[in-house]
Structure 1
Amino acid sequence: MGFRFRSYWTEFWTACLWFLGHIPSHSFRKTLLRIAGVKIGRKSFIHLGCRVYEPTNIAIGEGTIIGDHATLDGRDRLTIGDHVDIASEVMIFNASRDIHTEDFKLKLAPVAIGNHVFIGPRAIILPGVTVGDGAIIAAGAVVTKDVPSKTLVGGVPARKIKDRGVEKLNYRLGRARLFQ
């Protein structure tokens, strides 16, 4: 009985979080996500339609922008650094199925994204990946392995394209529009 109740509670909470993602006010949405357990830094923005699973395992740094309809999976630890730009429809997962077991067991692995990272639209980051400071992930890339600092990666699966060629990163991302 306890497992069934927990399952229903999880489904109910997931539906509530989906609803929260569609409230057209950054500050209200951010406040409600904080109440749900997401740790969100100052001057960070989460756009409309962002899906959040297991919010208590998610930490977002200062000045970070999460694009519309992004997916943040908190079934294991998800850490997003400061001044990170996550574009529209990016999916970050930290759980998958083990295809090499008879019971198709769930595998969990934390995901860490460094500071000053840009993740292009519709990129997918899979469980266990660490993205270094200043890295750029091209649109549509599927990241299956760690990305070194200040490296541009792209493709399926993502591979190194080139080094970023910048010594020091100190930019701040701009403010998001009010109803976005």
Structure 2
Amino acid sequence: MLSFIEIIIVKIKYRKIVFQNVGKNSVFKLWNSSFIYPENISIGDNVYVGPGAYFDATGDLVICNGVIFGPEVTIYTRSHNYDSTCLEALPFDQKMVVAPVVIKEYVWVGTKVIILPGITVGKGAVIAAGAVVTKDVPEYAVVGGNPAKVLKYRNRERFEELASSQEPFVYNKKGHGKEFITKEKLLNK
């Protein structure tokens, strides 16, 4: 439960946060998150943004339906100009290079992931905790590492079967409760 002082701080800090678009059933952990240029952030239905998010949408950020972000995810849509052919100061100059980031449907972004400017994350992809995404992620790919590389692909047929069902989004279908099971038991079902 937030104290009266904490409630006042939250109201002051987030009084001007107005996203370009927010779909239904989207949840944000605003208390310790930062949204830079929130008017450039478009959010679909059933999006969950975990605590400690840092989304810099200077160059536009599109988050499609059913995306889940773990805690402390960072997304950049701008970078300093450091290109030596047009550089005016060192180590970089005052110019900011912007490029949009697009996160497609039903992507799961793990804890402490960093996504750099100009990236498109394909539908159904999974980004492992701690990954640094420096290039586009294909549909249904599971990526991890620094820089993030494709580790494997999800089962496309099962994904599409679930996506076409009446209510595919995990929190609407199963709630927020967790069931703990070993990998061996899961594979032997």
Which TM-score bucket, shorter chain as reference? Answer: 0.7 to 0.9
3-state DSSP class of the match of 1:121?
coil
Residue type at the aligned position of 1:74: A
Q: Shift of residue 16 of structure 1? A: 8.4
State the alpha-carbon separation in 2 of the partners of residues 111 and 17 from structure 1.
28
Identity, % of aligned positions: 37
Could you list the runs of 5+ residues in structure 1 that have no partner in the other structure? Answer: 1-14, 21-28
Flag the 1:44–1:17 CA change in 2: closer, same or farther, 3 A: same
Larger radius of gyration: 2
Flag the 1:51–1:18 CA change in 2: closer, same or farther, 3 A: farther
Given that 1:18 and 1:49 are in contact with CA atoms closer than 8 Å, whether structure 2 keeps it comes out as no
State the alpha-carbon separation in 2 of the partners of residues 49 and 141 from structure 1.
21
Given that 1:81 and 1:114 are in contact with CA atoms closer than 8 Å, whether structure 2 keeps it comes out as yes
Q: Shift of residue 126 of structure 1? A: 0.1
- Cα RMSD (Å): 2.3
For 1:46-66, what per-residue CA distance to the aligned partner results, in whole angstroms no more than 9, with x for missing partners? 013221001111001000000
2:169 to 172, 176, 179: 172
1:56 paired to 2:46: no
Q: How does 1:26-175 map to 2 (within 5 A)?
A: 33=17, 36-47=18-29, 48-100=31-83, 101-103=86-88, 104=93, 105-167=95-157, 168=160, 169-170=162-163, 171-174=168-171
Q: Which has the higher contact order (CA 8 A, sep 6+)?
A: 1
Given that 1:17 and 1:51 are in contact with CA atoms closer than 8 Å, whether structure 2 keeps it comes out as no
Residue type at the aligned position of 1:86: F
1:19 paired to 2:16: no
Query: Larger deviation: 77-86 or 168-177?
Result: 168-177
Could you list the runs of 5+ residues in structure 2 that have no partner in the other structure? Answer: 1-8, 178-189
State the alpha-carbon separation in 1 of the partners of residues 121 and 22 from structure 2.
19
Q: Shift of residue 98 of structure 1? A: 2.1
For 1:124-175, what per-residue CA distance to the aligned partner results, in whole angstroms no more than 9, with x for missing partners? 0000000000000000000010000000000000000001123214221316
3-state DSSP class of the match of 1:56?
helix
Q: Shift of residue 38 of structure 1? A: 3.5
Q: Shift of residue 176 of structure 1? A: 6.4
TM-score by length of structure 1 reads: 0.77
State the alpha-carbon separation in 2 of the partners of residues 155 and 56 from structure 1.
31
TM-score by length of structure 2 reads: 0.73
- The residue aligned with 1:9 is none
3-state DSSP class of the match of 2:156?
coil
Given that 1:39 and 1:59 are in contact with CA atoms closer than 8 Å, whether structure 2 keeps it comes out as yes
